[in-house]
Amino acid sequence: MRAAVSLLVGALFGLGLLISGMTDTTKVQGWLDIFGDWDPTLAFVMGGAIVPMAIAWRVTHGRKPVLAASFPPPPEPRLGRKLVVGSTLFGMGWGLSGLCPGPAMASLSFGGTGGWLFLLAMLIGMGLAPGLRNRLDASPQPV
């Protein structure tokens, strides 16, 4: 049952990414390109996604999920070096390509060889992440 819900969630997620234009790298790079021909679409996508999700977080108060024992714990208050370093590396790759993990998967069927190459590199990068996490954990944390 939980897997069927996951399938539906993935379907809606993918459809939303496609119709919003987020599988088109020119729209994503256009949003990041503040000194060029700026494209505001991504802000509308983010806004449109945050509203139903903000309502969902409110609904969780004092309740339990339908098919799970509990909701996710509150976010950790600590920021930490991993959050800052990781997000900066991610942003650099996002800017270079115009792809982040969701759209990279949603566009696989029409993204050609380049799309598969990006996915493969991304999976390898994900495999390298635990090593970098350990290195960052081993050094003293300034934030």
Partner 1 sequence: MPIDWIMGLAGGGLIGTAAAIYLLVNGQIMGASGIVGGLVDGSGRHDWAERAALIAGLVLVPAVAAFAMGGAQTHLTSNWAVIIIAGLLVGVGTRVANGCTSGHGVCGISRLSLRGIVATAFYIGAGGLTVVIFKHLLGVI
Identify residues 25-64 at the interface with partner 1 (CB under 8 A): 25-27, 29, 32-36, 39-57, 59-60, 64
Query: For residues 96 and 141, which CB has a smaller minimum distance to partner 1 in the complex?
Result: 96
Q: Would you give the DSSP letter of residue 52?
A: H
- In the set 75, 138, 139, 142, which binds partner 1 (CB under 8 A)? 75
Contact between 42 and 31 (Cβ < 8 Å): yes
**Interaction of residue 141 with partner 1, rule CB under 8 A:** no
Restricted to residues 2-21, the positions that interact with partner 1 (CB under 8 A) are: 2-21
Restricted to residues 101-120, the positions that interact with partner 1 (CB under 8 A) are: 101-102, 104-112, 114-115, 117-120
Contact between 33 and 96 (Cβ < 8 Å): no
Residue 35 corresponds to which amino acid?
Answer: F
Query: For residues 7 and 141, which CB has a smaller minimum distance to partner 1 in the complex?
Result: 7
**Alpha carbon 4 to its chain's center:** 22
Q: In the structure encoding, which two tokens stand for residue 70, read together?
A: 């509990």
Residue 80 corresponds to which amino acid?
Answer: G
